[in-house]
Structure 1
Amino acid sequence: MKKLRSILIVLVVAAVAAGAGYFWWQQHQSDLPEGFARVNGRLEATRIDVALKFGGRVAEIWVSEGQRVEAGAVIARIDATDLEAQVRAAEAATRQAEQELAQAEALVIQRAGELDLARAELNRTQSLAARGYVSAEVLDQRRSQRITANAALNTARAQVSAAQAAIEASEADVVALKANLADYTLHAPRAGRVQYRLAEPGEVLAAGGKVVSLLDLTDVYMDVYLPTDDAGRLRYGSEARLVLDAASQYVIPATVDFVASEAQFTPKYVETESEREKLMFRVKLQIPAEILHRYQEVVKTGVPGVATVRVDPEAPWPETLAVRLP
């Protein structure tokens, strides 16, 4: 019974807190003109995890947390001693195959000369046999020599083809190994700021192991949650304004980039109209890239603020929410 009473108390407290929060949200909207919705949020940025394609030991890391890096900058290097040895072996196999090709081509020339000689001897023997100067046995021998020389030439030509194929295969191995070797040096896939350094030199990581986490400061947004009535009237591209707690004197423009297709925090399916009105949908407010690029040295994620979204495209923006930037 005591356990049951505790559970009931927790449920009641949670319900009261939810009701109080919803009431606060409604009161918070009251100072807005018709056609706008206001809600709290926090700045976020697209995160990119730079990870290993192949497992290995981290040899060097050249960035630190908070450092800004350009796209293509070298972030870390993985020890590739074994792979470098494989590259040298494949290059040696290529040189060996090239030597074998040269030998096979020389052998083709030799076999071609032997075939020409066998043909000439056969022609002379046939001429002599026709006049009775050579026996049939000798004529058969010359014919056999011609056939053997022709077969030897075909074998030599096949060796040339095999050597060429061996060269192509070893060259392909070199290309593949060098491509893999390039992946042992980790580069920043795009410009950003290092959020976390997840590994240190000397650590052995499996394939897919994360080394550094980057934040793309040209892709910063605020996720907010709006009720059914407001979310249902939103259009993609609708305007919004962001006011951050840390810089409340500025008003940052944004646009609606995404509206969730399913409600958050509540049951997926509800039956009554009153319950449907309380459903909250996630909305992504994207800050324009040109503004982010201009102020990328001061852009930070995790900063809380207030977002005002225009749900009625015909509603004029209040003067207090006119865009103001540093």
Structure 2
Amino acid sequence: MLVACLSGCQPAGETRFQGYVEGEPVLVAAQQNGQLTSLAVQRGDAIQTGMPLFSQDQAVEAASVSQAKAQLAQTQAQLSNLATGKRPPEIAAIEAQLKDAEARRKLSVEQLARQQALVAKGFVSAESLDQVRTQLARDQAGVAQMRAQLATARLPGRADERAGAQAQVSASQAALEQSTIKLEQKSQRAPVSGQVQDIFYRAGEWAAAGQPVVSLLPAENIKVRFFVPETRLGALRAGQTVGIHCDGCEAPVPAVIRFISASAEYTPPVLYSEKNRHRLVYLVEAWPQPKDAARLHPGQPVGVSLNVSGQ
């Protein structure tokens, strides 16, 4: 309020305005409940994107991943079993039974031929011939049955069974992916490059899901907020470049205006008259380039001039 009031009391012709540096931190939170087992950064560290920040206890999530892998292997084996038919030893047993049935049929054929010759010579009755013919029919039916069983044994499972098994495999894969994601969420890495501004939990403490653990400040999130009197507001526009002056800075830091408030802020109780308009101040935000933002620090008081060179 003091900064705003002082800005409001500046003469109308003043080209340098008072303000301060502000940062918009990135809060990296725990995505799962758990105890912090490691903290890889300290306050003030400069880090790059992808560097590890902290980890939580992973025992439960690791066990879930192992369980999901075992379930996936089981469903894949079941699908493979339905796709290949019966096992080779089972097929070999059916083939042996088929050979036995074919041998019995061959014997019945030979017996029928002999009985027909004997009946023709009148040595045996026609009833004996009928019995042999009946036995041959049985043996032929046995051969047909074993051939059908062998063909069925070589076929894969029914289409509905295979579709159900494939659905189980897909469900197991999804469960494994979900468990893997939860395991990965127990270790957080830096989403952006910047400086560690603050740490809210230490190793050994319990961090709930959604609670920030580390605060990062990227250079591109550093901005300057300054206040302009109503009499100079018309000289500003979004996209305009201004100069930031700070103690110890050898040259002004260029920054681009991105935001101009549509209403007066922190104004003293004044009458809205032409005589007192210069006391109204408006908030303006300007953003320096990331390479220049390293020269500024959040909370630092600065001066802002409309002339980038500061002349």
Name the larger-Rg structure. 2
The share of aligned pairs that are identical, in percent, is 22
- Given candidates 49, 52, 56, the residue that maps to 1:74 is 52
| Partners of 1:107 and 1:156 within 8 A in 2 | no
Q: What number of residue pairs does the alignment pair up?
A: 270
Post-superposition offset of 1:222: 0.7
Match of 1:38 in 2: 16
Tell me how large the CA RMSD over aligned residues is: 4.1
Structure 1 residues 177 and 261: alpha-carbon distance in aligned structure 2, compared to 1, 3 A threshold: farther
1:309 and 2:311 matched? no
| Partners of 1:104 and 1:157 within 8 A in 2 | no
| Partners of 1:108 and 1:157 within 8 A in 2 | no
1:258 and 2:240 matched? no
- Given candidates 87, 96, 100, the residue that maps to 2:65 is 87
CA–CA separation in structure 1 for the residues paired with 2:281 and 2:79: 72
Match of 1:53 in 2: 31
Post-superposition offset of 1:289: 2.8
- Given candidates 191, 199, 202, the residue that maps to 1:200 is 202
Structure 1 residues 105 and 38: alpha-carbon distance in aligned structure 2, compared to 1, 3 A threshold: same
| Partners of 1:39 and 1:308 within 8 A in 2 | yes
| Partners of 2:25 and 2:218 within 8 A in 1 | yes
CA–CA separation in structure 2 for the residues paired with 1:304 and 1:22: 13
| Partners of 1:217 and 1:299 within 8 A in 2 | no
- Which residue identity does 1:262 align to in structure 2? S
SS in 2 for 1:281: strand
CA–CA separation in structure 1 for the residues paired with 2:82 and 2:163: 9
CA–CA separation in structure 2 for the residues paired with 1:22 and 1:280: 7
Structure 1 residues 206 and 276: alpha-carbon distance in aligned structure 2, compared to 1, 3 A threshold: farther
Scaled by the length of structure 2, the TM-score of the pair is: 0.71
Match of 1:180 in 2: 182
| Partners of 1:242 and 1:305 within 8 A in 2 | yes
Match of 1:314 in 2: none
Scaled by the length of structure 1, the TM-score of the pair is: 0.68
Post-superposition offset of 1:69: 0.6
1:63 and 2:63 matched? no
CA–CA separation in structure 2 for the residues paired with 1:85 and 1:275: 71
Structure 1 residues 235 and 262: alpha-carbon distance in aligned structure 2, compared to 1, 3 A threshold: same
CA–CA separation in structure 2 for the residues paired with 1:236 and 1:19: 21
| Partners of 2:220 and 2:290 within 8 A in 1 | yes
SS in 2 for 1:255: strand
CA–CA separation in structure 2 for the residues paired with 1:258 and 1:188: 28
- Which residue identity does 1:68 align to in structure 2? A
Match of 1:122 in 2: none
Any stretches of 5+ residues in structure 1 without a counterpart?
A: 1-13, 115-132, 311-316
Post-superposition offset of 1:48: 0.6
- Which residue identity does 2:256 align to in structure 1? T
Structure scoring higher RCO (CA < 8 A, sep ≥ 6) equals 2
Write the mapping of 1:202-281 to structure 2, written as runs, cut at 5 A. Answer: 202-244=204-246, 246-247=247-248, 249-266=250-267, 278-281=279-282
| Partners of 2:21 and 2:222 within 8 A in 1 | yes
